[in-house]
Structure 1
Amino acid sequence: MTDLLGALGLIFVVSAVLLVVAHQFSIPVVPVYIITGLMLPPLVGQDLTLELAQWGIAFLVFVFGVNVEPTRLEAVTGDSEFVAAESVLILGGFGYGAALLLGLDALNAIYFSIAAALSSSLVGQDLIRREIYINLLYGRLVQSVHFIQDLIAIVLILVLSASVFTPDAIAAALGYGVLLLLIAVVVRVYLFGTLIRLSGGSDELLILTAIGMLIGFIIGSELAGVSIAIGAFAAGLAITKEFTQNLALLNGLDSLESFFSAIFFVVLGSLVTVPTLDVVIVAATLIVLIAILKPIVTIYLLLYRGYETRTACLTSFSLDQVSEFSLIIAIQAFILGRIAPDIFQAIILASAVTMITSTATKQFEEELYRFISRYPIFTSAHEKMAEQSNVESDLSDHIVLIGYGKLGTQVGKVCHELEEDLVVVDHDPDQLAWARREHSNYVFGDAMDPETWQRAGIDSCRLIYSTVPDRRLSERLLEIETEADVIVRADRTDEALDLFEQGAAYVNVPDFLASERLTDTVRDLLAGERTTETLRDDGTASLRDTQVDLQEAGPWNR
């Protein structure tokens, strides 16, 4: 116990020092943690190190499970199922073939191919946390693909962790795993809401309830003889964060995630040893499959499903790393003596490298997208995009509205009431479907793409209104050579001031506008210009009108 506490203390002390330096240069935390692990000497024995890695993964998988909200993923489920399944089959096939060419036996080739096929939901979604928060299309695609791949990974864990490879043992493991997931669904649908009500709004009870459910499901997985990661994943699915007064739970989970992220990624770095030539060759092959072939395959699959090039590229750049579930499979196989030590070390090395390179592809995603989009083979979706667009050929002096979410719906309604010609631009198929019902002119495409601008008639419009709080998009729109006024959206006042300086006619900062309106309301109330009764009546009426508008606009806008 003393050795373990000392190891954890050293992990956090060294990590904290390096994080201070990294923060000054805006370096992502994952590479810092892994490099910390590479720098530290072996802290504890290998058995305890592997145990720490598994527990770190389990707690992070739990947080991922909590963050999965199926209702937000419904719109892209069909596409993500296709992309996840096809990419696993294609990369798994290439990986298995490459492993055999390297001289691996069948079982080790399977472990190699699994590492090549599955992507890390922990790293990938940490990199696009903001995109998921503001509900961007490719953020939902990445989250949904990861969720489907994690379900595939759970099946593989149950099969490969069976005590013996016999039909009865595999069937028993699968049965226990499915049972845990079914219990999680039942708890989520029928029990968790009751637990929230019984907590009476107590922050402490909410956090203890979540931790208690995690421990309960982990105990259940231990009793069933399956991986604790499966129990942790089921516990996460049993909890929904979509309820009022959820701030304490979210803050508690963030702290939990930060704590175990440090443990897991530092331990992952510490597992990397000085590689032999054979390990380097196997790891390099795995890295090529993951960092180069996997994004190419993902891009083609998304283009085939009708998505435009930028969405396909940005989605693929969040799937180019080894999955934590692949690490669990490799660790369990190593403990059971089923995987060759060199293959295990190659998977560990490839994991560390790809989790670092993945942060680099995220940082330079726009540059990589522009490089890839130069090649005609990656622009095959434009024909399908044109088929889903409709703009009158003689349209001019119109308004181009980018994004048909909550704000876009309201702006579209105002334009309709004023009988203004409007072109809606969105790359979310379902949001565009709702725009198609309300408006006659619409473009399916990415607002960053010049071809989308051409279809929307930006050269002849008089106003461009972007409802998307994306600084890169806002700055790109302000670079367009057009006489039209440009209105954009920002989350922060300092960002808004920069956009004003770059030529924006107006910058919508929702928090700032809301605070101004609240200040005016308080001033009117204190000055006696409004009574509490009229204030309450006006507020209630406004909320009811907004609720009706959002219900008419579709479930993803609520």
Structure 2
Amino acid sequence: MPHHTPLIATLVSAFVLAYVAGMTAQRLRLSPIVGYVLAGVVLGPFTPGMFADQTLAPELSEIGVILLMFGVGLHFSLGDLLSVRAIAVPGAAAQIAIATLLGMALGWLMGWPIGSGLVFGLALSVASTVVLLRALEERRLLETLRGRIAIGWLIVEDLAMVLVLVLLPAIAGLLGGEDGSAKGGDVWITLATTLGKVSAFVAVMLVVGRRVIPWLLERTAGSGSRELFTLAVLAIALGVAYASATLFGVSFALGAFFAGMVLNESKLSHKAAQDSLPFRDAFAVLFFVSVGMLFDPSILLREPLPLLGVLLIILVGKSVGAFAIVRAFGRTPEVALTISTSLAQIGEFSFILAGLGVDLGLLTRDARDLILAGAIISICANPFLFTLLDRWTKQREAEAAAAAEAAVEPDVPPGPPVPERDHVVLIGYGRVGSLVGRTLHAAGRPVVLVESNRDFLEDARTAGIAGILGNAAAEETLEAANIASARALLVAIPQPLEAGQIIRRAREANPGIAVMARAHSDEEVAYLLRNGADAAIMGEREVARSMCEAVDGIVRWFERRPEVADEGTTGVPTANP
């Protein structure tokens, strides 16, 4: 039996090199995404050494895109999407127009025909959904207003690119390409057909999918099989994405997003998101590796000035345009900068559009290489831009917090002062953290909350709990919480890797502090204990312990009910008189 197959070789080489390069980037205080992309460059055909299958890698990366968009949909209800339509629809349309015009201007300077410039500009106008989602997830911004606007904006961009990909072959002849000979009437027919398919898909998902998908998942959960539940989640995500592309001509990503969004209405959406997370993360890495495989480093020497122009359009032109658009809608600078930073990169749709442009004779291979080089560099640069945004946001929030405390505005309570010693430091004020914080506060225990979400922090301050806005993994944030003199640290966030980093830093500042953390599995418990936690609480284990402790009490309660004792029909032994 042969032990070397293209699929296995591609997966092994991609995962191993991505891990090594990602860890190296992390050690150098860079985003792991930079390492993943560089791993793809090593595996690509333009560098000597290892070579992965260039056909399989992009297809495998599509699975990561599907699962990632499915996970976003699980946290994004239809109401969230409709709530940002007033800014997402016109904003995305205006931003696409600005970037396309800038791309056409650069093409004109290089002597390209107008059709080539149009396709080139469109390829530079659409951002990568995967890159954006990873950045928002790392900063816990998905469920914030900024995150909803950014996601809604990209959904509109994706829809626009779906129309472009369908219409471009039909009008290629009119734009000077080699294929396509559609007349004006045929173009309008194609446009109407595409809009009809997209509308039909949305209607099917909202009318049929909203009933069938949650029902199917609830029936599967009722079987009691964890394997079947996980399989059902993957089948729904991949199946709906594939069906949307095959039957309605909609992109895989958009189909998966709507599948997750309709499943959001089910009470099992949180478990579905948790079970799909490992698959989502693993295959999302393959997306960045496949991007790196497309990069020809020689373009840096062959076309330095055109490449500089491409980068200026992506990193500056799109960002400035998006910032101006968002501010014109009356949004805050924080929202405007988040949107502009999110759009300062290009990705998957740009690759597809560039490849189609070459096939239709509208783009040269050098133009495609410029788009790919712009994508690689902008994807690597985007984490640095978000880091700068994080620093600016922290500084602005610190200034705003100081101003709020000085003004003591009644609508935003500053909360009590941070205790100086012998207090409990609580990390996170979500579903678990809020219960812990309110219980400790009601019992009169001094508590300091560290929370990166402004809305959660304001809820805690309104309840009378002292709070600090910031990332608990940052040393200065823990210092502000007086961690060195605290008695206990309770880590209530669900991210084990971030929790481990927080625990290590707390131990360095206060070796004698008592540390308790939250976990979801035996592996997470072991990881947290290795990183310095004194105890790690696993929810399932505590539920089981509570049920066992309650057995005697509930049996006695049933035995003492008069109707049960008289009728004796419940199967529970009746009490002796």
Q: Same fold (TM over 0.5)?
A: yes
Q: In structure 1, what residue type is equivalent to 2:202? A: L
Taking the aligned partners of 1:373 and 1:519, their CA distance within structure 2 comes to: 37
1:55-454 mapped onto 2 (5 Å cutoff):
55-56=59-60, 58-69=62-73, 72=76, 78=83, 82=87, 85-86=90-91, 89-90=94-95, 92-103=97-108, 104-132=112-140, 141-142=146-147, 144-162=149-167, 163-165=169-171, 166-199=187-220, 200-210=223-233, 212-213=235-236, 214-215=238-239, 218-219=242-243, 221-224=245-248, 231=255, 234=258, 237=261, 239-240=263-264, 243-244=267-268, 251=275, 254-255=278-279, 258-259=282-283, 261-262=285-286, 264-273=287-296, 274-275=298-299, 279-295=303-319, 307=332, 309=334, 317-361=341-385, 365=387, 369-370=390-391, 389-390=409-410, 405-406=430-431, 409-410=434-435
TM-superposed deviation, 1:370: 3.8
Decide whether aligned partners of structure 1 residues 388 and 98 sit closer, same or farther in structure 2, where only a CA change above 3 A counts: farther
Instruction: Quote the offset at 1:534 in angstroms.
Output: 3.4
Output the amino acid matched with 1:323.
G
Distance 1:537 1:116 in 2: 70
Q: What is residue 498 of structure 1 aligned with on the other side?
A: 505
CA 392–485 in structure 1, closer or farther in 2 if over 3 Å, else same: farther
Equivalent pair of 1:221/1:231 in contact (CA under 8 Å): yes
Which residue of structure 1 aligns with residue 37 of structure 2? 34
Q: CA deviation at 1:428?
A: 5.6
Amino acid at match of 1:509: A
Change (3 A) 1:425 1:222: closer
Structure 1 residue 285 displacement after superposition: 2.2
8 Å CA contact 1:217, 1:232 repeated in 2: yes
Distance 2:333 2:39 in 1: 39
Aligned AA (2:104): A
Matched residues in 2 for 1:164 and 1:307: separation? 42
Could you tell me which runs of 5 or more consecutive residues in structure 2 were left unpaired when the two chains were aligned: 47-51, 172-186, 420-424, 520-534, 558-577
Residues in 1 aligned to 2:133 and 2:486: alpha-carbon distance in whole angstroms: 35
1:67 deviation in Å?
0.7
1:160-202 Cα distance to aligned partner (Å, 9 max, x none)? 4234241111110121122223323334410012222443244
1:326 is aligned with what amino acid? S
* AA matched with 1:68: V
For 1:250 and 1:321, the matched residues in 2 are separated by: 28
Q: What is the deviation of 1:291?
A: 3.0
Residue identity opposite 2:278 in structure 1: D
Q: 1:520 to 1:428 in 2, by over 3 A?
A: closer
Aligned partner letter, 1:533: D
C-alpha separation between the residues in 1 aligned to 2:546 and 2:452?
A: 42
Matches of 2:324 and 2:449 in 1, distance apart? 26
Structure 1 residues 199-243: Cα deviation after superposition (integer angstroms, max 9, x where no partner):
324445445545555346535533555655555555555655965
The alpha carbon displacement at 1:249 in A equals 7.8
- Using the TM superposition, name which of 338-347 and 107-116 deviates more: 107-116
CA deviation after TM superposition for structure 1 residue 253, in Å: 6.3
Give the aligned length. Answer: 494
The 3 A distance-change label for structure 1 pair 513 and 341 is closer
AA in 2 matched with 1:25:
T
Q: Tell me the equivalent position of 2:10.
A: 11
Q: What SS class does the counterpart of residue 170 from structure 2 fall into?
A: coil
Q: Which amino acid aligns with 2:309?
A: T
The 1:288/1:524 distance shift into structure 2, 3 A limit, reads closer
CA distance in 1, matches of 2:543, 2:255: 51
CA contact (8 A) 1:272 1:345 kept: yes
Distance change in 2, residues 1:167/1:534 (3 Å): same
Note the C-alpha offset of 1:471: 1.7
Q: State the distance in 2 between where 1:247 and 1:502 align.
A: 36
Structure 1: which amino acid aligns with 2:479?
Answer: L
- Aligned mates of 2:413, 2:275 — CA distance in 1: 52
Compared CA separation, residues 50 and 143, structure 1 to 2 (3 A): farther
TM-score (structure 1 length as normaliser)? 0.67
Name the stretch that deviates more: 420-429 or 206-215. Answer: 420-429
- C-alpha distance after superposition, 1:402-454 (max 9, x if no partner): 97644665477569868999999988676578679x66x8xxxxxxxxxxxxx
Aligned partner of residue 161 in structure 1, secondary structure: helix
- Equivalent pair of 2:99/2:121 in contact (CA under 8 Å): yes
Which residue of structure 1 aligns with residue 183 of structure 2? none
Deviation at 1:116, TM superposition (A): 3.5
Q: Percent of counterpart pairs with the same letter?
A: 19
Q: Return 515-524 or 113-122, whichever deviates more.
A: 515-524
2:517 matched residue in structure 1: 509
Decide whether aligned partners of structure 1 residues 143 and 347 sit closer, same or farther in structure 2, where only a CA change above 3 A counts: farther
TM-score by length of 2: 0.65
Tell whether the 8 Å contact from 2:73 to 2:259 is kept in structure 1 after alignment: no
Contact 2:197 2:248 in 1 (8 A): yes
Corresponding residue SS for 1:14: helix
The residue number in structure 2 matching 1:534 is 553
Q: Identify if the C-alpha distance between structure 1 residues 426 and 294 changes in structure 2 by more than 3 Å, giving closer, same or farther.
A: farther
Q: Encode CA deviations 1:482-520: one digit per residue, 9 max, x unaligned.
A: 999697653646743631542597766345464699789
Equivalent residues of 1:36, 1:266 under 8 A apart: yes
Cα distance in 2 for residues equivalent to 1:105 and 1:53: 33
Please give the alpha-carbon distance, in whole angstroms, between the structure 2 residues aligned to 1:253 and 1:513: 21
* CA distance in structure 2 between the aligned counterparts of 1:392 and 1:157, rounded to whole angstroms: 44
CA contact (8 A) 2:468 2:481 kept: no
- Deviation of 1:137 after TM superposition, in Å, equals 5.8
In structure 1, the residue matched to 2:20 is 21
Q: What is the DSSP-based 3-state SS (H/G/I as helix, E as strand, rest coil) of the residue aligned with 1:272?
A: coil
Q: Which has the larger radius of gyration?
A: 2
Q: For the structure 1 residues 173 and 282, does the alpha-carbon distance in structure 2 shift closer, same or farther, using more than 3 Å as the test?
A: farther
Residue in structure 2 matched with residue 444 of structure 1 by the alignment: none
Q: 1:65 is paired with a residue of what secondary structure?
A: helix
Q: Is the 8 A contact 1:83 1:298 kept in 2?
A: no
Unaligned runs of 5+ in 1: 442-462, 539-558
Contact 2:315/2:344 (CA < 8 Å) preserved in 1? yes
